[in-house]
Structures are given as C-alpha cells and as structure tokens.
Structure 1
Amino acid sequence: MHPSFTRRHLLSASSAGFGMLALQGLFGAQSPLVTRRTHFPSKAKRVIFLFMQGGPSQVDTFDFKPALTKQHGKPVAKDSPTVFYQSPWAFKPRGQSGMLVSDLLPNIARHADDLCVINSMHTDHNAHPQAILQMNTGSFAFTRPSVGAWCVYGLGTENQNLPGFITINPEFSGGGPLKHGNAFLPAACGGTPIGHGGGGSATAPEKPLKGIELPFMKNARLKTEEQRRQLDLVQTLNRQKLAADGSNEALEGLITSAELAFNMQREMPDVMDVTKENAATQEMYGIGDGKPTDQIGRACLMARRFCEAGVRFVQVNHSFWDDHSDIFKGHPQHALETDQPVGALLTDLKQRGLLEDTLVLWGGEFGRPPLLNKNNGRDHNNVGFTMWMAGGGVKPGIRYGSTDETGARAEQDKVHLHDLHATMLHLLGLNHEQLTYRYAGRDFRLTDVYGEVKHGLIA
C-alpha cells in the first residue's frame, strides 16, 4: 500500500462489496509492515534516534561562542544571581573539517567529519512534557503519531518477524507511551518498547540483566506448532468478523499484532542477545557489569543489530540531562554514560557499510542558555539549541545555521522542529506534505501545516 493510499480507499473497497478476499489483499497481504515504495529515491533506509532527554547544553557541546568569554561572569540584569557563563570544557578543532567540539564528548568528537551539526534548532515549548511530545510527535498539545510510527506507515519495514519501530529505555524519558505511540495510525506502526538495554547507570539505576530476559516470549504450555494451529483458528474468526464489519481498526490491529507477536518469538531473542558479539565489540561499546556505559552501550549495540535485521526506526532513550543544579557534575556524568557508546555506534555502522543509508539523529527536546543560575546550573532554552545527524545522505563535517553571539537564540538559517521532521522524511524518500492519513474527516501529517525541507543539510 503506497503512503498516499489512505484509510478512505480501504473503506471504499469494503463498502463496494469486494468482500473477504479484497480485504485480505488490501490489509492482510498489504499489512502496515509490508515494505512500500517511496515517493522518490531515498538516501536513507532506516533511522536511529539517540534521544538525550532533558536537554544537553549546546554551548557546552557543539556550539562554541568565543564572544561569550567577554560576558563571562556578568549578571544578566542588575543584582541578578544569574550570570553569563562560558563553557568550562575546552573546545578543539576536530578532524579534517576542523569542527569545534567540546572535550565533554571526546568519542563523538572523533567522528566530526561524519557529523552534520545543526546549531540553529528551535521549537515551541520550554517545558519538558510538552517539548518531549513535540520532539517525538510534532505536537505538544494533541495526541499524534510519533515520528517513528510515521516512518513505518510510509515505508513499512524489511523484516516481517520484527516490529518496524523499536524504542529502547523509553521509561527514562518523559511523555509516556504517547511519544512512541501510533495514535490514529495502524497499531502495527507504533513503537515496541524494550525496558532497558542491560545494566544500570549512576543516574538511572536498574537491576542488571544477566543475559537477555524477555517476558512472554515463550509459551509455557504450548509448543510452537500447537500455537500456530491455535492462532490460525483465532485469525480465521478475526478475519470473518472483519469481513462482516467492513471496517474495524481495532480488529485490524489485533490481526497484525498477533501475527507479529508469534513471529517475534523466533527472531527477537536472538537479535537482542548482545552476548553473541565478540569481546572486542562489547568492549568498544562499553558493555560490562558496573561500567557507567553498560546500559547505553547495550542499547546502542542492540540498535545496530536491529537495523541489520531490517527494523525501520530504532530509538535509544537516555535521561536525564536536565541540569538546573550543578552542571559541572551532571553533564560530565551524562557524557560519561553516552559518549563512548554513541561513538562506538558510529564506528560500527561505518565499518559495516551501514552508515551510508542509516540516518543517525542525536539531541534532546531543547537546549540550555549560556547562563549559570544561582544553583550552578543552566535552565531551559527552546529558542536556540543544537542537534546533529550523521549518515543517511546528510552533508558530513559541516555546521548548519548559528545562534547569536552568546548561543542563546537561533539566528541564521533557523531550523524548526517541523523542518527537521520534514528533512528526515525527505531523506527517507517521503514527501512530508504527501505522507498523510485521513482521520476524523481530515488528512493529517507529521508536520501538520508547517515544515520545510532544509536542502542545505542534504548531500
């Protein structure tokens, strides 16, 4: 089913009396997970979104502001406890591009020549719950499908035995299940959550997993052949009911989900088992009991394995970069937990030839101002922050756009969140204005009525 083939076409086919076989052809054989044609040739086939929830500080990572030195230590207003504050971490030119990256992220910095750094991001809300939802769904006020769900709806996926969209550590970031939900899109498009990637971390301690624990992945009572016969009977009844109803979105979702769940029993445990990787690879990702990198290292390695297995969209969530107090302690800890795994992921993808057609996105729901408050922290800043992309057809080794001289506000070549989403879909071969879904009498899209593809980001 092409992305422009919307729900209304399925309804008209049903109401015209095509019956059971037509519905199987339209929905059964052409389920939401079946690979579909793009609107135009794509540069990327899949996405890994490294979501650094809480808001990494751009002026401490990828947005060096020498002019901020002149303001350093000066109050923003008379008698104010909040002062302008230059980053305590040194910025150095990296790679052949000479891109300035902070010492806070030395492993990611080694990939400067692969990064497309957007220094002019801005979004509409500076509160975490709303900003997280907008980053992940395009809207902070309404229940809308997540960006991963839109990608699966538009493209399907390459492996019918695995979900099209997987989100790892989703409990570590706000927004609840809405941020990886399908809303009104077919249920199979929504994100499948995986608890956490492995061991614990200093900011989010968890009981370490010994090996891979996957609850409900095995049936304690029935053998595989018996489960298949049982499911065939249930699905026959489901399809009869669907044919009689003509349209039943909940039942359509149930049919697809039941088949996917059965197939996942065979493939999911193997793909998730990072112990199948050699010791050198595990060490590169920082995997090991007690290591601060263990959790995100497992998640990033799983992300690579899922991509190799044909999953369309993988999101790795990390928390909590919200350092209102003592950024000198908080940001180094978050960087310690994520920098090595993310750097390893880029290295691994490149070595395996996957980075070329895998779009990697890194960033939080907003950034931080170039100010230090009375608690030695930086507060929220949604009007100017940094994200970066790599692979998937973006221009490597460039900085796009800029903030003002202190790093507070996006100023040149501004990129709104809707623009970022439009550009991501474009790299996947999808026109964000044509990728629509008819619901409640209106054609909805990820970018609503906004968004502009930023061709300056595209190679």
Structure 2
Amino acid sequence: MSMQFGNNRPDSFSERHRRGFLQDLGLGFGSVALSSLLQGDSTAHGNEIAESELKKIAPKAKSVIWLFMIGGASHMETFDPKPQLNKLAGKTIKETPYARVLESPYLANERVVAFDPNNGFIRNEIYPLQVGFAPRGESGIEISDWFPHVGECADDLCVIRSMWTEDSNHGAQLQFHTGRHRVDGFFPTVGSWATYGLGSLNDNLPQFVVMGTPVADCCGGRECHRANYLGPQYDGIPLDIDSDIPLPYAAPPGGVYQEEQAGEFELLRQLNQISSEQFPTDEALRARVRSYELAFRMQTAVPDVVRLQDETAQTQRDYGLDQPETKVFGRQMLTARRLVEQGVRFVQVYHGSNGGAGQWDNHKGLKAGHTKLCKQTDQPIGALLKDLKQRGLLDETLVVWATEFGRTPGAQSSNGRDHHPYGFSVWMAGGGVKGGMTHGATDEIGFHAVEDRHYVTDIHATLLHQLGLNPHELVVPGRQRLERDFGHVIHDVLA
C-alpha cells in the first residue's frame, strides 16, 4: 500500500496531528522536554551567528562555568578585606571618619531602598570582620581564611572588587542573570545568549546545563536560566546528577527497550525524509524530529558524563566526594568539568537555594552561616580550578564566581549583615582573563564601589567577548540587547 501526501493540508494538522502521531509511537517525551531540545535547528542558527561575530573578535574561551551563590555572600568576609571594620566596631557610620558614604550620589538610585531605618548601613553599628585574611600565591591577593583551597589558586583569579547593582532585594538574583530589574519583566539570561550566539560543540549534549536547586520564584526562579524571546531551545537544561535519570527525557519511556526506540527513530527519520521532499518549507516537523533524535542520543551521552565513578579515587577525594559537607557541590563541580570537557558551552551551578532568599542571606548568624557555606564550596571549587588547569582546559574555560550583592558594613540582628548593592565582589578565572590580580576597589569600609566601578552587565559583556561574541551586536531584531544600559567589556582584566 502506497502512502499519498497532499499539498493542501491545514496548518492545524501540521501541528496537532503530527504531535499526536509522534507521541503515539511511544517515544514518551513531554512538550517541555521537546521545547528544550530543539537543538538541531538552533545549532545551525547559532553557528551562523558565531561565524559572523568571530571574524571581529578572536575567542579566548569555548565554555563557561558560572557559579552563583544565592542570597548575597559578604564581600568583606570573602574577597575584599576591610580591616577598618575591626578598628571601628561598635560605632555608627556617622560616628566614623567615613560618614560621607551616606551622602554619596550613588545612593540616589531610585530602585534601591536606601534609607530604610532598619537597614544596617544606615543605623546599626559597624560589625567587625568575622574571619581572617591572608595573602595567597605569588600574587599576594588577600583571600578569606574560609577559602583556603580557592586561595591556592589565587594566581589564576581575577577578583573584581568594584561591582554594584540597582536592586537591594533578592530580585537582584534575576538581574544578575538577565541584566534586567524584575520590574522590567523577563529577558534572556546570559547563558542563553551565549548558546544562541555560538551554537553547539557536541550534538549529543545540551549546550546550556543547569545544576543545583534554582533560586526561589520570589527572586526570579527558573527565569534565571531561561531564554525568553530567544526561544526555549536556548533554555538551561536542569541536570540532576544524583538521579537514576539525570535528565527527565534521557531514558526510554517505561516498557520500551532501547532497541525498539532505535527502530522508532529510524522510522521517524524515513518519514522526515519523505516530509522534507514533499513539504520543503515545513520546518515544524523537521525541528521536532531533530529534538527526538537528540534526546535519543542523550540517553547514551548523559549517563556517561555523570558516571563519576569512572574518575580516579584521588580525583574524587580532591573534589570532596568523600566528605558529607562537600559531597553534593563536589559532585556538581566534577560534573561541570566533565561537561565542558565534552564541549558543553555553558554550565550554570546554583549554590545555597533554600526555597527563599538563599542560604548566603545571613541577616543573623553570619559567622556560622558563611563558615558552613564556604566549607561546602571551597574545596570543590579549588579542585575544579586545579583540575581544569592540569588538563589544559582552564585556558579555554571561563569560570565565574558571583552573587547578587554584598553585605552591609553595619550589623543586623547583632551578628549578621543586611543586603548591600553598592559594592561587592565577583571573580573570574581562565578563559583569557588575567590571573593573580584584583581590579577595582570599594572604599575603606566596603560601602561603595569607588574605583573602576562595574555594573553587573559588565560581567555579561566581558564573558560574551571572551567567547568571541560582540555583546553590542548580539541582538534579535525588534528586541533590546542584553546589556542595554551598562554592559561594557572590562578590557583591563583581559590577558
């Protein structure tokens, strides 16, 4: 019996009936999985964009590992020591020689709640540093004693101590990923822009992978790794490395053997070929079939990537997989290395989600809270940096450590610090960035970024530049680009 195809089918058949037909085959992937997997067409599109941009900017990095500490890590207890806080402890800011910081024009930003009487930097007493610092490496960068393993990598770090943002609340988490305030709505994230502009290095894996529990819905939620108007094919794909099925669609559906599914995909391939010949302008079916093909390939590739037992026992110990405090984040860091090793473009790892503002949000109990959180992350991050370098991957992998804002010089709840958008720290390593240096500065008490100030989208612009993309030309017609207002490449930190 021959199959006859007509040329006058309604569009509704193309969308609804084909979808049902594919589902009836028993492939078992839901619509969310499909939308996130339309990588066949996006790869070609992304490579086309990248080719035009790479003629202008020579790429220094192939991949990015983006580490985001949820809640607002204290810059003054991590990477920006302020010994004046110890000398001035117990005084209000107005009683110190630095009262001028309360009159700074930087306080005038309309989106920052600057004069809440309960806010620690306005009313409460200066809170001393809760940890010591020491010069690290040959460069002598001062890094917190809570980060001894990261400190061993000081000569590979570029610590930017002059960050600022607009938002004094945790909507800044979304702002750090999209470059937009919550009141502006939802926009593509930096990871989505990177994958949109560059396309794929490995057709068997998603190009934007997310690990760790995302930020809470109150602070942006999954919009912190979504592509918005770029299309769901550029969304970050959640990876649960401790699940039997790391990706929800990376296994055959129940009752279907892999051999059976392979036969089904071969049938789909043949049908797609017929459809392409009969309806060469119909992209919907071709894109959908490509998504199924990618999902099928992932069923082999993804389990291989997350099979951490293939690593040596020493490597597993280096990442802290043998310790309860570091096991979870250590597994994520080791997986991040394995992902970029296989050509994944952007790996985003969240740390500290608690269903609310985030565990790093230590309004009280800062010493206990930060001690625990730094313990969880320090050894795994240090191991990641050393491992990438030893394997020759650090030069082509840009690692970014970030948080939404810093903490106040003044105390809150007697032993914590409040939110602080006016000055905080971010660091980068590898990917063509200078190592063993600090850039920018906050004032003597860590209140304002005062030297080489950088808005959060300067990090985005620098990251994209290192990937070989011009951040000011990476646009979608009719849409505003990522760094609309403030995004500028930080050329001083580039090797």
The question of a shared fold, defined as TM-score above 0.5 by the shorter chain, is answered with: yes
Q: For residue 259 of structure 1, report the CA deviation from its aligned partner.
A: 2.6
1:47-67 Cα shifts (integer Å, max 9, x gaps): 000111111100111111233
C-alpha RMSD of matched pairs (Å): 2.7
d(CA) in 1 for partners of 2:40, 2:334: 34
User: What is residue 22 of structure 1 aligned with on the other side?
Assistant: none
Q: 1:161 to 1:187 in 2, by over 3 A?
A: same
8 Å contact kept, 1:366–1:380: yes
User: Is 1:322 aligned with 2:361?
Assistant: yes
* Aligned mate of 2:126, from 70, 84, 94: 84
- Note the 1:224-303 alignment, pairs <5 A: 224-231=258-265, 233-234=267-268, 236=271, 240=275, 254-288=288-322, 291-303=324-336
Distance across 1 between alignment mates of 2:422 and 2:161: 11
Range 168-177 or range 269-278, more displaced: 168-177
Indicate which of 420, 427, 430 corresponds to 2:459: 420
Structure 1 CA distance, aligned partners of 2:228 and 2:71? 24
Per-residue deviation at 1:275?
A: 1.1
Equivalents in 1 of 2:260, 2:45: separation in Å? Answer: 27
Letter in 1 for 2:438: R
Is 2:174 the partner of 1:138?
Answer: no
* Aligned equivalent of 2:18: none
Instruction: Give the secondary structure class of the aligned counterpart of 1:184.
Output: helix
Bigger drift between 136-145 and 118-127 goes to 136-145
Matched-pair contact (CA < 8 Å) for 2:40–2:291 = no
Instruction: Decide which moves more: 368-377 or 381-390.
Output: 368-377
TM-score, normalization: structure 1? 0.84
Answer whether contact 1:33 1:160 (CA < 8 A) is retained. Answer: no
Q: CA deviation at 1:140?
A: 2.4
Correspondence 1:410 to 2:449: yes
Whole-angstrom distance in 1 between the partners of 2:320 and 2:43: 41
SS of 1:31's equivalent in the other structure is helix
Q: SS of the counterpart of 1:399?
A: strand
Native 8 Å contact 1:188 1:257 kept in 2? no
For 1:311, the equivalent position in structure 2 comes to 344
Partner of 1:51: 68
Equivalence for 2:226? 181
TM-score (norm 2): 0.78
The separation in 2 between residues aligned to 1:30 and 1:165, in whole angstroms, is 12
Structure 1: segments with no counterpart, 5+ residues:
1-25, 199-208
Q: Is the 8 A contact 2:411 2:417 kept in 1?
A: yes
The separation in 1 between residues aligned to 2:274 and 2:124, in whole angstroms, is 64
Change beyond 3 A, Cα 1:89–1:356: same
How far the C-alpha of 1:72 sits from its partner, in A, is 1.6
Alignment partners' CA distance in 2, 1:132 and 1:245: 44
> What CA distance in whole angstroms lies between the structure 2 residues aligned with 1:29 and 1:324?
43
* Structure whose alpha-carbon radius of gyration is higher: 2
The alpha-carbon deviation at position 444 of structure 1 amounts to: 3.1
Instruction: Tell me how far 1:121 sits from its aligned partner.
Output: 0.4
Change (3 A) 1:97 1:322: same
Are 1:167 and 2:180 matched, yes or no? Answer: no
- 1:401–1:280 CA distance, 2 compared to 1 (3 A): same
Q: 1:187 to 1:240 in 2, by over 3 A?
A: farther
What percent of counterpart residues are identical? Answer: 42
- Would the alpha carbon gap of residues 384 and 193 (structure 1) be closer, same or farther in structure 2, given more than 3 Å must change? same
Gaps in structure 2 of 5+ consecutive residues: 1-38, 96-116, 353-358
**What residue identity is the alignment partner of 1:133?**
L
Q: Shift of the alpha carbon at 1:157?
A: 2.0
